[in-house]
Amino acid sequence: MSLDFEKDVADIEAQIEEFKAKNPEPTGALVKELNRLELERADKLKETYANLTPWQTVQIARHPDRPLIRDFIKGLFSEFIELHGDRLFGDDHGIIGGFAMMDDIRVMVIGHQKGRELDEKIKCNFGQACPEGYRKALRLMKLAEKFNLPVITFIDTPGAFPGRDAEERGQAEAIARNLLEMSSLKTPVIALVTGEGGSGGAIGIGVGDIVLMLSNAVYSVISPEGCASILWRDGAKAAEAANALKITAKSLLQLKIIDEIIPEPLGGAHRDYAGTMKAIRKSLIRHLGSLKKIAPKKLANRRFEKFAAMGRFK
Amino acid sequence: MGWFTKSKKTAAKPDSPKKEEIWVQCPSCKAHIYKEEWEKNLKVCDRCHFHDRLTWLERVEVLMDEGTFVELNSKISWNDPLKFSDSKGPYAEKAVENCEKTGMSESVATGTGKIKGIKVAIAIMDFRFMGGSLASGTGEKILLAAMHALKHKLPYIIVSASGGARMHEGIVSLMQMPKTCAALAQLRDANLPYISIMTDPTTGGVSASFAMVGDIHIAEPRALIGFAGRRVIEETIKQKLPDDFQTAEYLLEHGFVDMIVHRKDMKETLYTILKYTGCH
């Protein structure tokens, strides 16, 4: 699927397809022509992706082909032992987690699950976790603390589920509890925003020693549509709201909310899973290495200082 | 001189006062009540028990021993990290208007004072300042008051009244949620009591952060308390919600508040609880 603003790229891609269909085994001048088209495609992609507006970035962050938690687990870890349930109510599919192995490093992986196919999407509420999802996440983080495993969270959610049941079971309390407990967890925590960092639903597993973002991910206090409908009284003004809210990785790095941007391959993570995983792995290995050297108590203190300093301007 | 007493005096002026200076209409049951009576009842309707919102100064009067409140960090104010503007103009202008309207620099006032002789640190949100929204200045004041409590080994009380995180400071507002909770984790580790008082409304990012992690949760009658807005939930689940959904009474039923306390009994209740936590 190509996005509206990728029309130039899509046109060339269509040309390439047509050319390949006409010339299944190109030789001589035809090879040159194919190479020229491929180069043109790369140039167009580069141009398009170098000048993305915040609203276009939102669309990439929500792209249906963008890698999801299961893809990250498969692409980054050699083993994954999924753990289920919050021991209080049930097992939420909006957040999954478990033990995982990256090279020879044992870690606890936790992340939002949006689901790929429709039935899967429905099962996990399109990545909108319920209180039991946040409570499962906390249970796994406490396990990680107990067994000295670093925690890696993958954030990709439109927001926490706004449902009657979720409210009755304490959506607010579940998120609040996670914020408090994560801030003092005595093991390293790395949070990576991979797609949509949707407000409280995102920060609910996002209190990290290191907070990373993929270059086309977004992270915001409210969705651009939600903000537009409240402050512009017009949901269609989402592009303007996206601009005003400063939700791109670049803006968040400038605001010192995140620590590092992980560059996605040319044309976005959805075009190149392997390249995306390689970039993430490199960053995670480096940060796991440096966090390992810090004593757990000191780590928790540093994490407190880090978040305490956010929004301190004078 | 106290706020409520002051008002009583104004109401008693001899010149022929306008109608609205004598009567108050209860926003809930629409009953007409003598202003003097309304204020004597701490802005609670004696017919339907509706608790109207209080300003932070009124709240100080209701909760603290007279003359004991000392404000902390009153200079900390709103910030504009995003240089935010919406269809109605720049956030900076709106913020200045709110400062002028309320006499506050942010949506919360913090300080120390005494409750029947027990010294406490307290943060009081005020809904008049941009809907009591949580932004950088709010979070910073709440954190610093917690640090003051930690340093001086005081119990901490937060009175919430907020629609949630302030959009105009974007992601920086969102980060005040972990920031304030991180401060409360420090109090927990020091075994200092933290009492959360939820007043109308306590929703969104405030309910999903400091308001919901108290040792004790006290709500005012019929206060709106919840995470998502009613309309959003109804649109999501395609169902009408019960009338009492997200009220203090509903939350008590579902196990998220310890007690619902009438405003006139709040100070006494706080004192009793503080005694049990070992404060004196």
pLDDT in tens, B132-144: 999 999 999 999 9
User: Given this model, what pLDDT does residue A184 score?
Assistant: 97
Domain check: are B66 and B153 in the same one?
Answer: yes
Whether residue B151 is found in the same domain as residue B213: yes
Residues B206, B233, single domain; the answer is yes
Domain-terminating residue out of B14, B35, B50: B50
Query: B63 and B39, same structural domain?
Result: no
End-to-end CA, chain A: 47
Percentage of chain B modeled with pLDDT above 70: 93
How far is residue A243's CA from residue B83's CA, in Å, rounded to a whole number?
Answer: 11
Contacts of A181 in chain B (CB under 8 A): 185
pLDDT at site B24: 92
Averaged over B35-64, what is the pLDDT?
95
Q: Are A224 and A65 in contact (CB under 8 A)?
A: no
CATH topology of domain A57-308: 2-enoyl-CoA Hydratase; Chain A, domain 1 (3.90.226)
Q: Do A304 and B186 touch (CB under 8 A)?
A: yes
State whether B148 and B246 are in the same domain: yes
Q: Are residues B94 and B226 in the same domain?
A: yes
Q: Which residue has the higher pLDDT, B255 or A1?
A: B255
Low-confidence winner among B32-41, B133-142, B153-162 (lowest mean pLDDT): B32-41
Same domain, yes or no: B40 and B87: no
For residues A228 and B60, give the distance between their C-alpha atoms in angstroms, rounded to a whole number: 36
C-alpha span between A250 and B237 (Å, rounded):
36
Contacts of residue B165, Cβ cutoff 8 Å, sequence gap at least 6? A199, A200, A221, A222, B133, B134, B135, B173, B174, B176, B177, B204, B205, B206
Question: CB contacts < 8 Å between A and B, how many?
Answer: 190
Q: What confidence category does residue A314 fall into, taking pLDDT thresholds of 50, 70 and 90?
A: low
**Cβ separation B239–A164 shorter than 8 A:** yes
- Domains of chain B: total: 2
Q: Is the pLDDT of residue B101 over 90?
A: yes
Do both B32 and B78 map to the same domain?
A: no
Looking up tokens 């029947």 gives B116
Measured CA to CA, the distance from residue A243 to residue B101 in angstroms comes to 29
A221, A237, A307: residue with CB nearest B171? A221
Residue A1's pLDDT is 75
Where in the sequence is the domain holding B73, given as residue range(s)?
Answer: 54-276
pTM (whole model) above 0.90: yes
Q: Min CA distance, B204 vs chain A (Å)? A: 8
At position A140, the amino acid (one-letter code) is L
- Per-residue pLDDT reduced to its tens digit, A206-241: 999 999 999 999 999 999 999 999 999 998 999 999
Which of residues B28, B50, B72 is at a domain's end? Answer: B50
Q: What is the pLDDT of residue A223?
A: 95
Cβ contact A180–B175 (<8 Å): no
Outline where chain B has alpha helix (H): 3-11, 19-22, 35-40, 56-63, 91-102, 136-152, 170-174, 176-189, 204-207, 230-237, 248-253, 266-276
Model pLDDT for residues A281-306, shown as the tens digit of each residue: 999 999 999 999 999 999 999 999 99
- Provide the phi-psi class of B116: left if phi over 0, else alpha when psi is between -120 and 50, else beta: left
| Closest chain B residue by Cα to residue A197 | B171
**Same domain, yes or no, for B215 and B138?**
yes
Q: Are residues B163 and B202 in the same domain?
A: yes
